Chains A and B, each alone.
Chain A
Amino acid sequence: MIAARRIKPLDVLSVAWIVLLLLFAVVPMLWMLSTSLKGQFAALQQPPEWIPSHPTLQSYITLLSPTGEIGPVFLRYFLNSVIVSTATTALGVLIAVPAAYAFSRFQFPGRDILFFAVLVRNMFPVVVFLIPLFILMRTLHLVNTHASLILTYMTFGLPLSIWLLKGFYDNIPEELERAARIDGASRFKAFWLIIMPLSSPGIIATAIYAFIGAWNEYVYALTFLNSESLLTLPVGLQHFFTEFATNWPGLMAAAFIMSVPVVVMFMLLQRHFVRALTEGAIKA
């Protein structure tokens, strides 16, 4: 028993507030899950049933079975999302790591201006880029390819990635590399052998952030893709909606399946994620 830490019991008001907050945050998610476990008619029942009296996995089976009409399409969307998000994350980290390291350690002319330019991107409305990027992708013959999305997501993710990673590098004492340099290591070697292993928590956090961003993105996927077989999940859901306008359990099951990877990833690495998000604002 740990008796050293005394925990004051919460007063009634705080408990009431916590309950309210929890209800607000969790009920929509639970309702998503509950609906997805109902049959199509049970979902339309009034008054609504909180817990399905005849729960069924039918919607999930339909969506995930590789045979049938809907299953293969949905699995295709899922695979497309995995491909795009993974490629975005890998490329993004590969490009962001050296840039963040340089911004943290080197003193080249123009460093501050460039870093500032990188940061200001966050203020640009996404639509400012939508039209010209669409035209650019058309010129490059990249419209309706995954490459257009990967390139866009990766680049839009870079400012945040660089900022987060720079925060991590700033926290790693320089003496460590200096010692390696004195022992004759090149700058790259010192970076690779000393800094890379130390900064893995930062890289993981940045990677999660990039992955979740790509996984959830909607606007560019909506604009750049038009082949059914290339769509990612967020845009794909729309198709389910219009085709099966009344199939709420199906749609909720699809939304649930789409949410599972990011929520699980986030739960496993919550600490990194929260730290990454707040690092800049608190320590800026």
Chain B
Amino acid sequence: MAIDSTAPLATPAPVVAPPTKRHGAAKRGLLAEINRHRTDYLWVAPALLVMLLVIGYPFAYTIDLSFYETPPSSANWYFNGVGNYGQILSDRGFWAITLNTFYWAVGSTVLAFVIGFGAALVVQREFFGRGLLRGLLLIPYVISYVAAAYVWRWLYHSDYGLISGVLYEFYIIDQNINFLDSTSLVMPSLIIANVWKEFPFAMIMLLAGLQTVPQQLLNAARVDGANAWYRFWHVTVPYLRSVILITTILLFVGNLNSFVLVWIMTGGGPANASQIWITQVYTLAFQSLQYGRASAYSVILFIVMLAFGYFYVRALTRRREAR
């Protein structure tokens, strides 16, 4: 039996099997090749089986269900074509929620990225207590969204909250602010809580990226008389381009998917001012029990996500080619 293991995708492997044998295998065709590797599949079979059951099947089922009218009160579900999609897309509420969703996702992503990058730039430098600082900055990322949601709800509390209290103390406001009950303040307030939770993610990703920037490159620029600002924009940023891209896409998709913070802090209110796609789908499915409509909503979401997923995969593969 030949040793048919090879090195990973990224690094071209030395060919292990004798060339003649390789050649023969190619001739025998795909089925024979599959047969030759049949024990390999046993290693991945458990993973693929559970994924098929818990991910593949539900996914197909969602698409199927999205074409059905599913009246909550009866078990009599009937085919409705693209009716659910039509109803969603022609509903004015949908577009308001879409606007909220992008406000939420873009706002959170940009702020988390900028703060995370800023944090990475200082944590990257050597100073006393750097490790401790990095550890402390990472805590928000590790704790659960649920704990974060309750803490921020408490911080924003209109009567007893710390934020209102401190602002009042410093004479910045003369009346407590109702952060989460105001249709104009609710989104910015939620975004800040969300940024608190996820800026550390941007920080570690970019920190790891910064450590790969070759020091010689920066030194060369310095010798050429480039100031710190110029070195940052013209050496560091271009070098980190794909890390930046990947971090932003992951943040953005994560934000489109994020449910807990909004759900616990406001439940989409007041008056739908903080209703986003995900919370709307949840409300449709598990409060109005409109499975069909909610499934169609999910599929629309999925298509949007897929578009971003495409960029993500392209960013990843382009890096691989570059190496």
Contact = CB atoms under 8 A, between A and B. Distances in A.
Interface string A92-107: 0001101101111111
Contact of B260 (A119, A133, A219): A219
Given A21-B137, A278-B205, A95 B47 contact: yes
Contact of A281 (B6, B34, B43, B243): B243
A120 B51 CA distance: 12
B176 to A, nearest CB: 8
Q: Dominant SS at the B interface? A: helix
B59 A124 contact: yes
B308 interface: yes
Contact of B3 (A123, A178, A234, A283): A178
B204 A274 contact: yes
Interface string B114-129: 0100110010011110
Interface in B59-99: 59, 61-62, 65
B150 A123 contact: no
A19 to B, nearest CB: 10
Contacts of B247: 281
A61 B125 CA distance: 43
Contacts of A199: none
B305 A135 contact: no
Contacts of A130: 281-282, 285, 298
Contact of B259 (A116, A126, A238): A126
Interface stretch (B159-167, B179-187, B229-237): B159-167
B146 interface: yes
B118 A21 contact: yes
B312 A123 contact: yes
A8 B126 CA distance: 8
B172 interface: no
Given A43-B160, A108-B37, A120 B309 contact: yes
A32 interface: yes
Given A158-B47, A219-B259, A263-B142, A108 B40 contact: yes
Interface stretch (A52-60, A64-72, A250-258): A250-258
Interface in B267-323: 278, 281-282, 285-286, 291, 294-295, 298-299, 301-302, 305-306, 308-309, 312-313, 316, 319-320
Given A28-B155, A120-B313, A255-B147, A106 B5 contact: yes
B298 A29 contact: no
Given A131-B62, A131-B298, A215 B162 contact: no
Nearest to A282: B208
B122 A158 contact: no
Interface residues of A, number: 106
A132 B61 contact: yes
Nearest to A266: B142
A251 B151 CA distance: 9
A102 B151 contact: no
A102 B146 contact: no
A234 B4 contact: no
Contact of B301 (A127, A187, A251, A281): A127
Contacts of A267: 135
Given A125-B302, A255-B151, A46 B165 contact: yes
Interface of B: 3-11, 13, 16, 30, 33-34, 37, 39-41, 43-44, 46-48, 50-51, 53-55, 57-59, 61-62, 65, 115, 118-119, 122, 125-128, 133-140, 142-148, 150-152, 154-155, 157, 159-162, 165-166, 168-169, 196, 200-201, 204-205, 207-209, 212, 243, 246-247, 250, 253, 256-257, 259-260, 264, 278, 281-282, 285-286, 291, 294-295, 298-299, 301-302, 305-306, 308-309, 312-313, 316, 319-320
30 contacts: A7-B126, A14-B122, A25-B200, A28-B196, A29-B143, A32-B151, A46-B160, A107-B4, A108-B37, A109-B34, A119-B313, A120-B313, A123-B312, A125-B278, A128-B301, A131-B285, A133-B54, A135-B291, A136-B53, A152-B54, A170-B7, A177-B5, A212-B142, A216-B146, A233-B146, A251-B150, A263-B142, A274-B138, A278-B205, A283-B10
Given A21-B122, A109-B34, A262-B144, 18 more contacts: A8-B126, A22-B137, A46-B165, A48-B160, A106-B4, A116-B313, A121-B51, A125-B257, A129-B55, A132-B295, A162-B47, A170-B8, A218-B144, A233-B146, A251-B154, A256-B147, A263-B143, A278-B205
